[in-house]
Structure 1
Amino acid sequence: MTETAETVAVSGVGVVSPAGADETSFWDGLCAGRSFARRSAELAGMPVDFACAIDGLDVDEAVGGRSVWRMARFVKLGLIAARQAVADAGLDPATWDGRRVGVVLGVGVGGVSVLTDNALKLEAQGPGAVSPLLVPMMIPNAAGGEVAIALKAQGPSLAPATACASGATAIAVARDLLVTGQCDIVVAGGAESVLTPLVVTAFARMGALSRRTGDPGAASRPFAQDRDGFVIGEGAAMVVLEREADARARGRVPRALLAGTGSSTDAYHPTAPEPQGRGAQAAVEAALREAGWSAADVDHVNAHGTSTPLNDAMEGMLISRVFPHRPSVTAPKGVVGHTLAAAGAIEAVACVLTLEHGVVPPIANLDAPAVEFDLDCVTKTPRRQQVERAVSHSFGFGGHNVVLAFRRA
C-alpha cells in the first residue's frame, strides 16, 4: 500500500432518511437491520403500494423561514441534510469566505410531484392555474441552488445527474474541486423524493420494484436468493469535505478520510448493468489507484445492493472477483430502500459511521447470500469490526459507476 493522493477530510455529515432524520436515529435504524418499508396511502391502488418514506418529520418546520413555500420536497430534504452537515463540521456560513465554498448536490429526477400537479391544473383549469414557480421548483439543480443561497456559498454550485449514482458522483466531483484548489470547503451529497403514483408505477411497469405487496417489510432483500426488485425510498445526505490539512489546521479532527474516487460507464444498456461487471470493476480499480491501495487493503464493502436480480448478480460477481479475501459486505437498501439519487450519499455516510464506530450494520431480510455469491455478508445483527479502509459502490441507470474509497481518520 502506497497512499500518494491528497487526502480529503469528511468533517461533517447530515442525513435525512426513512430510518431517521438525523445521524443518530439513522445509524440506530441501520444497526437494527429492519426494513422501513410501509404501505402508502398515496400509492393505494397502484401495482406497488408501498415505499420507504420519511415519517415523523415536519419538513416545512425543519426548513423554516419564509422561503419554504417555493421549494419542492427534494429541495427541502437536501437543505435539511446540508445544514446538519455544516453544523456537524463546526462551520458557520456567516463567517466563512463564501467565494471558496462549493455545493455539489446530485439529483436524479427533481420535482416530479410539482410537475404532475401543475399538469393536472393546466388540463382542468387552463394556463392561469399553472404556477409561475413551476420551473424553479421542478428543475433538479434547484436543490443545489437553494443550498448555496442558504449557506452563502458562492463557489461552484453543481448538480450532477447520474441516476442512482448521483449522490456518489457529487462527492467525487467535490473531491476534485478541493484537490484542484478551486474550493476550500465543499458541501456535497444527494437528494431525492419521488414517491408519487406516476413514478412508482413507472418503476413497477419496468419490473424494477419488488412485488411483495403482502409483506412490504420483507421486500428489500439484497443478495438473497429470492430477491425480486427494490423498494423505492426518499431521502437526502450531505457531507462537508475539506483538505485534510485545512481541517486539522482549524482544530477539526476528521470523521473519516476520502482517499480516492473512481468513475466509469458501462456503455452497455440504458437500465441493465453489464453482466460481468467490467465497467464497475474499472471504477473500483480507479478508486483504489487514486487512494494508493491494493484490493487486499480493503476491509469492508458498502454494496450498492439494490435487491434486484441483475444488479446483485453483477455486484456479487464483482466483489468476489476483485476482493477474494472476502471483506465484510453490507447493503443499506435493505433497511432504507433505494433512495435513488440520494443513495450514494446516504451510503457514504454509512461508511463514515462504520469506520468511526467499528461496527458493520446487517443487511435486512437476509439470512445468507444466494448460493452463487461468495460473499461475507453481515446478516441479522451488527458485526463489531475494526474497519480501516472501505469502499462504497454506486451504480446508476445509463451505466454510471462510481466508487468512493474511505479510510479511518
Structure 2
Amino acid sequence: MRKMLSLISSALRLSAGRTGAELVNEGSRVVVSARTYADFTPQATFDIKKCDLHKLEEGPPVQAVLTREEGLQYYRTMQIMRRMELKADQLYKQKIIRGFCHLYDGQEACAVGIEAGINLTDHLITAYRAHGYTLTRGGTVREIMAELTGRRGGIAKGKGGSMHMYAKNFYGGNGIVGAQVPLGAGVALACKYQGKNELCVCLYGDGAANQGQIFETYNMASLWKLPCIFICENNRYGMGTSVERAAASTDYYKRGDFIPGLRVDGMDILCVREATKFAADHCRSGKGPIIMELQTYRYHGHSMSDPGISYRTREEIQEVRSKSDPISMLKDRMLNNNMASVEELKEIDVEVRKEIEDAAQFATTDPEPPLEDLCNHIFHNEPPLEVRGTNPWVKLKSVS
C-alpha cells in the first residue's frame, strides 16, 4: 500500500497544472498499473524441442526459463524486425529501395535467439540476409532503413545497401555466397590469438552449405580448435531450389563430419537461445568449433525479385505462418502463462509501428551522400595518398 501511495504521489506531482478530473484519472491509472504488473508471473519454465545431436554425448536442455522482462524484450525486437522488413517490401515496390534486397521475416527467432545466447563482445558475420543481425548487433531502425534507401544517415553511409551493413563486432552482410564462412574463421582465429574468451558466430544458408570453401574452413577450424559457431540457417530453399533437390544429404548439422553438431528448431526462440548458449560454452571451453543447423522459414521469396510462389505454394507458406510463426509462439506462451496482457502487447505493437514509420520518413528525406564522399571510408584509418584510387581528386603518385 505504501508503494502504491508513493506512485500516486509521484504521478500527482508530475501532473501539476492539470484539472482535478485529469489528476484523479492519472492516479487511478497508476494504481491499476501497479496492481496489474504485480499480478503478472515474473518467470516461467517451458518444455522445448530436443535437439538432434552429432558427435555429442549430451545436448542443450529440454526446458528453458523465460522471465517476463526477457519475453517482452524478445517480443519487441522480433516485432521490430518483422515490421521493418514489411516496410522495406513496401518501399521496394514503390521503387524507393532499389537493387538487391533479401528480407528476413519469418526467421526472427534465429537472430534474436542467437543474440540472447552470446555476448555483444562476441563477433558475428553473415551473408546478405543481414537486416535482422544489423539490428541485434546495435544498429538502429533509422540507420538500417536509411541504408536501404542509400542515404547519408545509413549505417554504411548509404554506400552499402541491403547486403553490406556493418556494426561493432559485426562484419556484414556479405554478397558472395559462402565467402563469409572463411572470414568468420579468421575472426575466430583473432579471438583465440587475443585470448579474450570471445567467439565468432558464422552464419550461412542451406544454399551456401554445398560450397567447397565451407568444408575447407571446417578443416582449418577443427585443426586449430577455433572458437567458432558455424550456423546454417536452413530456410528450406536456396533461391528457388528446395533443399531436397540441392543436397544429397540435408542433415546440415552433420556436414562437419569430425565437428560436433546440433539440429535446432529455428522457429522457437527459446530453442535457439538454449542451443546457442550450449554451443558458446563448447567453444569457450577450448573444444573447438561446433555446427548448428537452425530449421527455419522465410515468408518472402529469396529476394525482392523473387515472388516466392513459383517453387512453393501459398498454402505451404500459410501453414508455416499459422503453426510455427516465431512471434505468435512467444506471444501465446506469455499470454497463456500470465506473463503479459493482450493490451500490453498491443501497446508494444503500436510503439513499433510508430518507430518504423518514423524511420521510413527519415529514410526517404535524408540526403544522399555527396559526391566527395564517393571514395571515402575505404580504409579504416587515413591512407597514404600514394595508395592508388583512394582519392580520385589527388594526383596519383608512383612509388615503384
TM-score, normalisation: structure 2:
0.30
Q: Which has the larger radius of gyration?
A: 2
Q: Which has the higher contact order (CA 8 A, sep 6+)?
A: 1
Q: Which has the higher strand share?
A: 1
Q: Which has the higher helix share?
A: 2
TM-score, normalisation: structure 1:
0.30
